[in-house]
Amino acid sequence: MKYVDEFRDPSQAKKILKEIDILCSQIKLTEDRPIQIMEVCGGHTHSIFRYGLNQLLPEKLEFVHGPGCPVCVLPRSVVDNCIRIAKHDDVIFTTFGDAMRVPGSKQSLLDLKAEGADIRMVYSPLDALTIAQENPDKRVVFFGLGFETTMPSTALSIMQAKKQGINNFYLFCNHITIIPTIKAVLDSPGMRIDGFLGPGHVSLIIGTNPYDFIADDYHKPLVAAGFEPLDILQSVWMILKQLKNGEAKIENQYQRLVHKDGNASALAPIQEVFELRDFFEWRGLGSINHSGIKINDNYADFDAEVEFKLKEVTVTDPDICQCGEVLKGILKPWECKVFGKECTPETPLGALMVSTEGACSAQYSYGQNIDLINTK
């Protein structure tokens, strides 16, 4: 396939859906429940809702929306620390657009910007580095977040700052890692996931080898998947085929971009600049060992946590917000008590309603619409 339309071909989708239906009828679970496949990546969640794939699958099969949206798992305490930094008169605070709307304890970065703080949306950390060069009398802070997908560009910006002697540039590092996250899901009480759609973008960086433990130790299949409708449907078919045959393997559907050993050029700057944290707090999931990274001692001069003497504080979500249950697959987005009422994309109470990759935002935006395939 060469063109995107080929990955959205309704006739091909219908063929795969028929095979999926046959496979589902042949798979017998030990308990009376649907076959559950977790898409770890928020990009997959967005595609599933956008194209109505969840409505096209057999009733015996359902998606569970995992913790793969980095904005969605930001704890309120991290947002509160962002606000503490941004309130300094000599600070220009920079970050990606969707992070500006994540609610903290009392306000979001967007609220603080409306009050006059110098908070700017950027498209990459190198944009923030340019701002630091243009404003030598200001401390410029980049709020770095995301899985391994965005780590290389952040690391390269820090390396560039050191090379050029730019001493007013800082990183508030909240990057997270995918492997401990999946392990935490697998170890959670009552876990009933039968297989995983592996994140395509992260896998492009780290490869598929790091997922081997999922098959070896937990006997669950994982398929690294692309983001177009046929990518996702084919990956589901590959998982179901393994389940039918009683297999648990790591497979790669996204072979046009993903390789088993990952991208060495992207991994090198990550290893140069960062090291693992002992613990990292996730919204809805609690603390997960070695799931976050921080700047290592060689680049400590660029660490905003050191510069602004930040402390780690745990802040719980509002009682009415059920993002945690949705992240764990216990609830569907529409089953949350405040979904579409007090909590909407315009007035988000929880982080899952902020990002377009959040399960609640995707459900709210696309609802029951099927704009790809009409199976009637």
Could you tell me the residue ranges of all domains in the chain?
A: 76-178+264-307
Owner of token pair 């580095």? 129
Low-confidence winner among 14-23, 266-275, 280-289 (lowest mean pLDDT): 280-289
Predicted confidence at residue 363, as pLDDT, reads 85
Residue 87: band (very low, low, confident or very high) from pLDDT cuts 50, 70, 90: very high
Of 185-189, 234-238, 262-266, 369-373, least confident by mean pLDDT is: 369-373
Look at residue 374 in the predicted model and tell me its pLDDT.
41
Q: Supply 287's token pair.
A: 């603390």
Q: What distance in Å separates the CA atoms of residue 99 and residue 109, rounded to the nearest whole number?
A: 8
Specify the range with the lowest mean pLDDT, choosing from 199-213, 241-255, 301-315: 301-315
Q: Give the per-residue pLDDT at 317.
A: 63
**With 70 as the cut, is the pLDDT of residue 266 above it?**
yes
What percentage of the chain reaches a pLDDT higher than 70? 93
- pLDDT for 8 equals 87
Residue 313's pLDDT band, with cuts at 50, 70 and 90, is: low
Is pTM beyond 0.85? Reply is yes
pLDDT of residue 279: 87
Q: How far is CA 342 from CA 320, 337, 347, 349, in A?
A: 10, 9, 7, 7
Q: Is the pLDDT of residue 146 over 80?
A: yes
All residues at 6 or more sequence positions from 59 whose CB lies less than 8 Å from its CB, including other chains: 34
Task: Among 210-219, 226-235, 350-359, name the one with the lowest average pLDDT.
Answer: 350-359
User: Average per-residue pLDDT in the chain?
Assistant: 90
* CATH T-level topology, domain 76-178+264-307: Rossmann fold (3.40.50)
The answer to whether the CB of 283 falls within 8 A of the CB of 317 is yes
Q: State the pLDDT at residue 222.
A: 98
Per-residue model confidence (pLDDT) at position 282: 83
Lowest pLDDT segment from 91-95, 124-128, 301-305, 358-362? 358-362
